[in-house]
Chains A and B, each alone.
Chain A
Amino acid sequence: MSQPIKLGCHGIWKVYGDNSEVFFDREESPQSRRERIVRGGHIPAACDVSFEVEKGEIFVIMGLSGSGKSTVVRCLSRLIEPSAGQVLLDGENLLEKSKAELIEIRRHRLGMVFQHFGLLPHQTVLENVAFPLRVQGLNLSDREARARKMIELVGLEGREANYPRELSGGQQQRVGIARSLAVDPEIWLLDEPFSALDPLIRRQMQDEFLRLQKLLHKTIIFITHDFLEALKLADRIAIMKDGWVVQIGAPAELVSHPANDYVAEFTRDVPRLKIITAGEVLKTCESKSEPKEFRSNTTIPSNSTLENLLPDLAGSAQGLTVVGADDQVLGKITMHDVINTLANSMEK
């Protein structure tokens, strides 16, 4: 991936409690700073959080409840003022913006979806979706036209005149999504958008979300506490624990090379076949690969998952040839390699 960095945050800290500035009066290691904060009776909700998100990327922050995800995503839009650190939007530091500038940025460049939808109960679906435009002072007909388009996009045509309480949870969240997209933002923040929904609806909404992203190519920060959801949606995942970012990586990377036991614990129940790719197998069993020889055998792209390549593998006793993006041969994998990789990933 070689897209430019859209959003970056560097060394973000958030300490809840009065007078939290005192903890940032000197240089010290993040560990000892956190200790000092805890000793002072304050709550370190985000500790030295740094990551960068490329344009068009889906960046998922995953962690158990209370790990600081909501805090971090709110720091990005300054709904919560970080105690220290930098938030760079297209290279400009958001934390130095004045109130008026911040309002402008929120009006045009950021959109957010909330866990419990955050809809205005006294407004209809149409008015809710048009709200961000109304705030900007757009006239009625323009904003309603735009809102109708958004409602159509999320598949809620016909419910424009309903009030939020008359909709199901899934429908309400569609309204939330339509509203957050109404101003066509560059950055799309979603804080556990599907966590309040039933499992079946949740799966539907995830697919819907992927469909929208294919259409819109937003830069996305997506929060979830569900590791499988993270795996399904993410280009990259950051795992959080107690305010720290424990590991950042692509889904397959996390599964095959968890940074510590905490991450490994999450990966334990993940169906390996859906995650591990042919490329992974090659990497794990590198020493035994003998390129070029098996050119005539069935070839498969390196990013296909085991789930997809198993039928082919079963049909060819010698193994499969793995090719890269530009069709050059990367290596060969056999049933034995696959079993080895799987066993390997189980141990971790």
Chain B
Amino acid sequence: MKHGFSRQIPPALLVWILAGLVSGVSIFYRTELPWLVNYPEAWVLPVIEWANTGMDWFVENFRWFFRSISWLLSWAMSGALAVLVWLPWAAAIVLFMGVALIAGGWSLAVFTVAALMYMVVIGYWEESMRTLALVSVSVPLSVIVGFGMGVAALRSRRTNRIVQPALDLMQTVPTFAYLVPILLLFGFGPVVGLIASSIYACPPMVRNTMLALSRVPEEVVESGKMSGATERQLFWWVRFPTALPTIMIGVNQATMAALSMVIIAAIIGSSADIGWEVLSTMRRANFGESLLAGIVIALIAMVLDRITRAFATRDSRKRKYLSGVSNLQTLVGTLFVTAFFIIAAQLYPELNDYPDDWVFYPAGYLNDIVAFVTVEFSGILEAIKNGFLFFLLLPLRIGLENTIRPFTWGFTLTPVISGGYAVMTMLLAAFLGVRYSWRVSVGILLVCSILFFGFEHSPWPMIIILIVVLAWQVVGLWIGILTLSGLGFMLVTGVWVPAMRSLYLCLAAVLCSFLIGCLLGILASQNNRLSGILRPIIDTLQTMPLFVLLIPVLMFFQVGEFTAFLAIIAYAIVPAIRYTEHGLRHVDPEVVEAARSMGCTERQLLWEVRLPLAIPEIMLGLNQTIMFALAMLVIAALVGTRGLGQSIYIALSKADFGLGLVAGLSMALIAIIADRVLHAYSRRQRQALGLQ
């Protein structure tokens, strides 16, 4: 209800004023009471130690169990490894080509052969096969387990209630954090990567299985029942095959998750696979080498993605690629040719082991090029880097009050200037408050004060109360309470500082990727050619294991926060573009026609019709942008960011379960809170627009 001349202060504004007061007071006293900024060690709950004690006890008592699993799996893995490494490369390529041919036809087969030939010619064949061996054991494992769990969860409502939140958590806990407990339970060795990737690949499989089976139309099931099918027939002949396409999408996602985890697991360095090659060359700053190896990962990802996706979407019995040749015949033919090459390889060893002097390894040239560019364009590169650092990253992290120095901004921050900033802010807020609504001025005050004091140097009571009130006011009380408990958890467990560093970097990167992504999405929605160019790029970026994205940025900007920032943007921009374009293009065509018939220009159509109606979808894009950014944030710890990612990284290297748990959970909490807030917001917007 709006009362034009009512003197009453709206209760929501009252809450904000209260929050502002608390913030003001804590800012005012922060020098006298240093605990307001630095949460004292003494107040930290020793959650990390408790977790470690608990874990020690658990490991002590159940090690035999996990070690025996690990032993079993290591057999499976050595088997797969032996086969793949033993298989002559020529024979392996034929085999993969046959599979690609059956899955997706000639174009996919050609692509597959080209990708595999790259690995051979560059000389990374064996490393690639090691990675594939891990994936080829972990994917079937997680597909079977995930399918079984999905079916079980659907059977009973109670299991379902446990499974759903567990899945949410598993998908938001950062990948690195998985490795710590697995390391402790299963011991060192390539098996850790295998287990981590099977666990990590389970959730998408469970989710898709549940989704697929629950979406089988009721009438189809009923028609099966009316045919007199038994329970078993009903499941295997009716439900399962009807759900199969969606289940195969689960297999596709599980494969990609497994691959990304296998690559990440290289960090514990227990298997000489391609992930390790990238990582070790990266650590030695041999960027040419790591780029060449990174391309291998990218190619593996693309081949696996395309093949599994082709299996999910293809029209199984209808398509025949060779006229008059069935899939079965293709398969038999493939096996035949494979066998032929295996035998031939015994006579011509070149087919077995690609000779070293045929290898083409242009790492040196690449390094030269990079060196040339970094020297020639050092001025520009530095300028870009410093621009972002001084005007965006540092203010967000430590605040304008600590950033503005003669060396950075060209002048000293005198009290007069600070006062001027405060007054300008107040005036702006007051003006906007009168002109629009008090909500806008609250927003301005919020942004300006965070910019001035910075995430890391603001008193924690201020940060907590502002974020909690924001969540509460934008979405609702429950989300507010969830936010409060999340932030409280980070505070009392002693990871507040790294959490704030992560938060700030994430915020900065999300801001940039969202802005740029929306812009590109809007342009792409208006321009088919641009859309055609962008689509394969973002598809590729999305399937890329995160590691790989670090390499090109590292080449030009060295280790540091700015590199992490760029890498995060490169990845997180994908959903921003995709959702914006999709949202804009898929506005109800009748509304668009109505607008056109009223004489809207294309520009009016975009700004007055499409954009407002696409807001809910764009918000979901923002949500995904945040999720992607958080995922990359952890990986970015490799290039020297400080924050939760680094904490997890440290936990991993010291096998500190408690720290890994707390840092991983904090990360997951940030993700879950952001997710809930944006989903609720999007839903409300959708309802307000009468969509759905």
| Chain A interface residues (CB < 8 Å from chain B) | 74, 77, 79, 103-108, 110-112, 114-123, 131-132, 134-136, 163, 176, 179-180, 183, 189
**A103 and B242 alpha carbons, distance in the complex (Å):** 22
Give min CB distance, A76 to chain B, whole Å. 11
In the complex, what residue of chain B is closest to A77 when comparing beta carbons? B226
Contacts of A104 in B (CB 8 A): 228
Q: Give the chain A neighbours of B241 by CB distance below 8 A.
A: 120, 122-123
3 tightest CB-CB pairs across the interface, nearest first? A107-B228, A118-B223, A118-B219
Stretch at the interface among B5-13, B230-238, B474-482: B230-238
Q: How far is the CB of B300 from chain A (nearest CB, A)?
A: 31
Within 8 A of A (CB), among B208-243: 217, 219-220, 222-230, 233, 237-238, 241-242
A180 to B241, CA, bound (A): 20
CB distance from B247 to the nearest CB of A (A): 12
Q: Report yes or no: A116 in contact with B228, Cβ–Cβ below 8 A.
A: no
Whether the Cβ atoms of B228 and A106 lie closer than 8 Å is yes
Given contacts A120-B238, A121-B242, contact A136 B228 (CB under 8 A): yes
**In the complex, how many angstroms separate the beta carbon of B465 from the nearest chain A beta carbon?**
41
Judged by a CB distance under 8 angstroms, whether B244 is at the interface is: yes
Q: Among B222, B230, B316, point to the contact of A114 (Cβ < 8 A).
A: B222
Which chain B residues (411-468) contact chain A, with CB distance < 8 Å? none
Expressed in whole angstroms, the Cα–Cα distance for A106 and B223 within the complex equals 10
In contact, B237 and A118 (Cβ under 8 angstroms): no
Number of A-B contacts (CB under 8 A): 70
What are 26 A-B contacts defined by CB distance under 8 Å? A103-B229, A105-B228, A106-B225, A106-B226, A106-B227, A107-B227, A107-B228, A108-B228, A114-B219, A114-B223, A118-B219, A118-B222, A118-B223, A120-B220, A120-B238, A121-B242, A122-B316, A131-B227, A131-B237, A135-B227, A135-B229, A135-B237, A136-B228, A163-B318, A176-B223, A179-B223
B196 CB to closest chain A CB (Å) equals 35
Which of A132, A135, A136: most chain B Cβ within 10 A?
A: A135
Query: Which single residue of chain B is at the shortest CB-CB distance from A111?
Result: B226
Among B223, B226, B230, B238: residue with most chain A CB under 10 A? B226
Chain B residues with CB under 8 Å of chain A are: 217, 219-220, 222-230, 233, 237-238, 241-242, 244, 316, 318
Given A120-B242, A122-B242, A135-B237, verify A103-B223 contact (CB < 8 Å).
Answer: no
B630 CB to closest chain A CB (Å) equals 38
Pairwise interchain contact B226-A110, C-beta atoms closer than 8 A: yes
When C-beta atoms are compared, the residue in chain B nearest to A191 turns out to be B219
Give Cα A289–Cα B230 distance, bound, in whole angstroms: 62
A279 to chain B, nearest CB (A): 39
* Chain A residues within 8 Å of B222, by CB: 74, 79, 112, 114, 118
In angstroms, Cα B226 to Cα A110, docked, is 7
Q: Are A79 and B220 in contact (CB under 8 A)?
A: no
Known: A106-B226, A135-B228. A115 touches B219 (CB 8 A): yes
A221 to B241, CA, bound (A): 30
Known A-B contacts: A107-B227, A120-B238, A135-B233. Give 6 more (CB < 8 A).
A103-B229, A111-B226, A116-B219, A118-B222, A135-B227, A176-B223
Specify which chain B residues have a CB less than 8 angstroms from the CB of A180 in the assembled complex: 226
Complex contact A119–B228 (CB within 8 A):
no
CB distance from A133 to the nearest CB of B (A): 9
Known: A116-B217, A118-B222, A120-B220. A103 touches B230 (CB 8 A): yes
Q: Complex: how many Å from CA A77 to CA B226?
A: 8
Min Cβ gap B346→A in Å is 43
Nearest residue (CB) in B for A166 is B318
Expressed in whole angstroms, the Cα–Cα distance for A105 and B226 within the complex equals 9
Are B217 and A118 in touch, CB under 8 angstroms?
Answer: yes
Task: Kindly list chain A residues whose C-beta atoms are within 8 Å of the C-beta of B237.
Answer: 131, 134-135
Shortest CB–CB separation between residue B462 and chain A, in angstroms? 47
Known contacts A115-B219, A120-B242, A122-B241; A79/B228 CB under 8 A: no
Q: How far is the CA of A115 from the CA of B222 in the complex (A)?
A: 12
The answer on a CB contact under 8 Å between B219 and A132 is no
> What residues of chain A lie closer than 8 Å to B230, measured between beta carbons?
103, 135
Residues of A with C-beta under 8 A to B228 = 103-108, 132, 135-136
Closest Cβ–Cβ distance, residue B249 to chain A (whole Å): 15
Q: How long is the Cα–Cα vector from A117 to B226 in the complex, in angstroms?
A: 13
In the bound complex, residues from chain A placing their C-beta under 8 Å from that of B217 are 116, 118
A146 → B minimal CB distance (Å) = 13
When distances are taken between beta carbons in the complex, the residues of chain B under 8 Å from A179 are 223, 227
Residues of A close to B220: CB separation below 8 A: 118-121
CA distance A77 to B225 in the complex (A): 10
Given A116-B217, A118-B220, A119-B220, the answer on whether A79 and B227 have CB atoms closer than 8 Å is no
Q: Considering the chains assembled together, what is the distance between the CA atoms of A111 and B226 in angstroms?
A: 7
Q: In the assembly, what is the distance between CA of A77 and CA of B238, in Å?
A: 19
Instruction: Name which of A105, A121, A134 has the most chain B CB atoms within 10 A of its CB.
Output: A121
How many angstroms from the CA of A104 to the CA of B318 in the assembled complex? Answer: 35
Set of chain B residues within 8 Å of A134, measured between Cβ atoms: 237
Task: Pick from A74, A119, A122, A183: contact of B223, CB below 8 A.
Answer: A119
Complex-state Cα separation, A33 to B223, whole angstroms: 33
